[in-house]
Amino acid sequence: MQTYPLRSVLKKFFRLVFRVLTRLQVEGMENIPPSGGYLLAANHLSVVDAPLVFALLERDDITGLVAKKHLKNPLFRSLVNAVGGIWLNREEADTRALRAAVAHLQGGGMLGISPEGTRSRETQAMIAAKNGVTYLADKANVPIIPVAVWGTESTFTDLFKFRRPRLSMRVGKPFSLSPITRASRDAALRSNTEEIMCRIASLLPAQYHGVYADHPRLLQLLAERG
């Protein structure tokens, strides 16, 4: 696996920034295994989400899939390249990005992805996910770690008002999905994607459940948690 010397430096920098400028509440860090290939799936509310997760996780082998549209931003491009981010073209079936992601996971690395594919700007709650996360998990044959992030949607508003935003992150336990077969491919992809999203939603406060608020699987998970 290729090494990225600046990854640990940037991790420490972002961690310091968040500690100083925000009020952090973090739960479930014990659910992050110290090694091994894992797909980390998180909800997406703000551009702050990815740096926050990157900074708080102890593992130095974490990277993520990043939309190619951000290549236009020189600073963002430099930061993503410095941590070994994998550029993804969302407008087509990006087999190059998929192969790179699978190789990273099967090499024992951790990879972050937002199943929703974009920020939920309008509702500031969960929106319908795409099946890419399930397809990737099946191809790499690795467990998934659900991560919930909230409070990030008001980060810049609070900072501009000279308030320290309250950011929260909660990590769930790793889980594995049922293998996808050709006979029921489409149904299995959708079912597994909904399982991932409901697991993430179960870690979030109710106002962030969005389109999954009434999903039977989410209601079951919440009942199990009491």
Any domain includes 1: no
pTM of the model: 0.93
Write the pLDDT tens digit of every residue in 191-218. 999 999 999 999 999 999 999 999 999 9
Domain of 62, CATH number, reads 3.40.1130
Tell me the pLDDT band of 34, cut-offs 50, 70 and 90.
very high
Domain count of the fold of the chain? 1
Any domain includes 196: yes
Any domain includes 162: yes
Any domain includes 47: yes
Tell me, what's the pLDDT at 5? 77
Q: Structural domain of residue 47, as residue ranges?
A: 6-225
Residue 8 has pLDDT above 90, yes or no: no
Tell me, what's the pLDDT at 172? 97
Tell me, what's the pLDDT at 107? 94
Any domain includes 165: yes
DSSP for the chain, please give it: ----THHHHHHHHHHHHHHHHSEEEEE-GGGS-SSS-EEEEE--SSTTHHHHHHHH---TTEEEEEEGGGGGSHHHHHHHHHTT-EEE-TTS--HHHHHHHHHHHHTT-EEEE-TT-S--TTTSS--PPPTHHHHHHHHHT--EEEEEEESGGGHHHHHHTT---EEEEEE---B-PPPP-GGGHHHHHHHHHHHHHHHHHTTS-GGG-GGGTT-HHHHHHHHHH-
Any domain includes 185: yes
Tell me, what's the pLDDT at 1? 60
Percentage of the chain beyond pLDDT 70 is 99
Tell me, what's the pLDDT at 4? 77
Residue 38 has pLDDT above 70, yes or no: yes
Higher pLDDT, 71 or 127: 127
Q: Which residues of 165-179 are buried (b: 16+ CB within 10 A; e: fewer)?
A: bebbbbbbebeebee
End-to-end CA distance of the chain: 42
> Region 123-137: what's the mean pLDDT?
91
> Region 63-83: what's the mean pLDDT?
86
Q: What is the largest CA-CA distance in the chain?
A: 56
With CA atoms as reference, report the closest residue to 39 among 56, 62, 60: 62
Tell me the pLDDT band of 99, cut-offs 50, 70 and 90.
very high
> Region 102-127: what's the mean pLDDT?
90
Tell me, what's the pLDDT at 138? 92
Tell me the pLDDT band of 54, cut-offs 50, 70 and 90.
very high
Any domain includes 90: yes
Tell me, what's the pLDDT at 186? 86
